């Protein structure tokens, strides 16, 4: 490279870049949350850790849960339909909502 021309591979990361990187990461985590039920608790834990590390970013929001409330309720209903035991319905719904 000629003198005075900077290498774009070594350009500093700007605040705008870091925000878009975090947004991309969150979208990937949300997709995994939606598609792999068994990963939900791990994903929420990782999102919590991100929210602690990146206090200036909105990581865990109510919108995340509100957008998925119908799905979580439907999954709880299907789980209930598959098991004939209705004595622990409240506990199952609470667990599914917390996952």
CA distance 31 to 27: 6
CA distance 15 to 21: 10
pLDDT over 70 for what percent of the chain?
66
CA distance 17 to 21: 6
pLDDT digit string (tens) for 62-97? Answer: 888 888 888 888 888 888 777 755 555 566 666 666
Mean pLDDT of the 47-59 span: 89
Q: Which pTM does this prediction carry?
A: 0.60
Phi, psi of 94 (to 5 degrees): -65, -45
pLDDT above 70 (res 31): yes
**The pLDDT of residue 42:** 92
**The pLDDT of residue 12:** 60
């Amino acid at each position: 490279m000629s003198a005075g021309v900077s290498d774009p591979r070594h350009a500093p990361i700007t605040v705008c870049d870091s925000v878009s990187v975090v947004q991309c990461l969150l979208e990937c985590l949300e997709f995994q949350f939606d598609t792999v039920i068994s990963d939900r608790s791990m994903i929420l834990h990782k999102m919590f850790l991100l929210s602690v590390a990146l206090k200036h970013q909105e990581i865990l929001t109510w919108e995340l849960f509100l957008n998925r409330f119908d799905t979580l309720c439907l999954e709880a209903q299907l789980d209930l339909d598959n098991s004939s035991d209705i004595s622990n319905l409240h506990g199952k719904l609470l667990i599914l909502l917390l996952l």
